[in-house]
Chains A and B, each alone.
Chain A
């Protein structure tokens, strides 16, 4: 079953603009992760944020986590055409042995 739900489902922006994607989940979590997938290929890990963290940065990525609202957001600043991909949030099952993915946000960055 899907734990996370990303919003929006699709996002189209111009190079240089910022892109914000949101993820909501249903049950309490230990950690939340964001992954990127380029056109039907393997997923690439972007960032992991623990339940006791509120914000985390990695390069042009900024992730926030609000456990009271059961939501997270991924901000990509100064987007590039190479950022065009699908982005997924992943939460854990109770045992921490599985990643439960949302349906993803498809980001298209045009030059």
Chain B
């Protein structure tokens, strides 16, 4: 069974640009969550999607957005990039109704560097 796939693995962008990250969950998983990891703030929840609906959003500005497609693949977008957006972005998929009742499977992450 293929794991969670995130693309691209590494990305360098300039301040003010926008970026789109992609996540393909494990087949059959309908819950997809996104997390931002930085040395200072640790792992912070961005948003969670289930069957194309955003069920929850973390405390991030509106520049961070996401969506989920009918095949459960998800994308997140960050517009008007700031230096502080440099981070490891992790995607996780879960079976069942969501990430807390069963284990979450994480991708390897996308390392975003904003210069």
Write the residues of chain A forming the contact surface with B, with a CB cutoff of 8 angstroms: 1-2, 30-31, 33, 35, 40-45, 48, 88, 92-93, 95-104
In the bound complex, do residue A1 and residue B103 qualify as a contact, i.e. CB atoms below 8 Å apart?
no
Q: How many residues of B contact A (CB 8 A)?
A: 31
Chain B contact residues, majority secondary structure: strand
Report the separation of the CA atoms of residues A31 and B99 in the bound assembly, to the nearest whole angstrom. 10
In the bound complex, do residue A99 and residue B56 qualify as a contact, i.e. CB atoms below 8 Å apart?
no
In the bound complex, do residue A97 and residue B42 qualify as a contact, i.e. CB atoms below 8 Å apart?
no
Within 8 A of A (CB), among B54-85: 55-56, 58-59
B108 to chain A, nearest CB (A): 5
Q: List 14 A-B contacts (CB under 8 A).
A: A2-B42, A33-B104, A40-B88, A42-B4, A42-B109, A43-B90, A43-B106, A48-B103, A95-B56, A97-B99, A98-B56, A98-B100, A99-B104, A104-B42
In the bound complex, do residue B42 and residue A31 qualify as a contact, i.e. CB atoms below 8 Å apart?
no
Of the candidates B50, B97, B106, the one whose C-beta lies within 8 Å of that of A42 is B106
Report the separation of the CA atoms of residues A42 and B90 in the bound assembly, to the nearest whole angstrom. 7
Report the separation of the CA atoms of residues A101 and B56 in the bound assembly, to the nearest whole angstrom. 16
- Which residue of B has the minimal Cβ distance to A96? B100
In the bound complex, do residue A97 and residue B106 qualify as a contact, i.e. CB atoms below 8 Å apart?
no
Report the separation of the CA atoms of residues A33 and B99 in the bound assembly, to the nearest whole angstrom. 10
On chain B, the residues within 8 Å of A40 by CB distance are: 88, 109, 111
In the bound complex, do residue A97 and residue B108 qualify as a contact, i.e. CB atoms below 8 Å apart?
no
In the bound complex, do residue A99 and residue B45 qualify as a contact, i.e. CB atoms below 8 Å apart?
yes
In the bound complex, do residue A101 and residue B90 qualify as a contact, i.e. CB atoms below 8 Å apart?
no
B55 to chain A, nearest CB (A): 5
- Which residue of A has the minimal Cβ distance to B47? A98
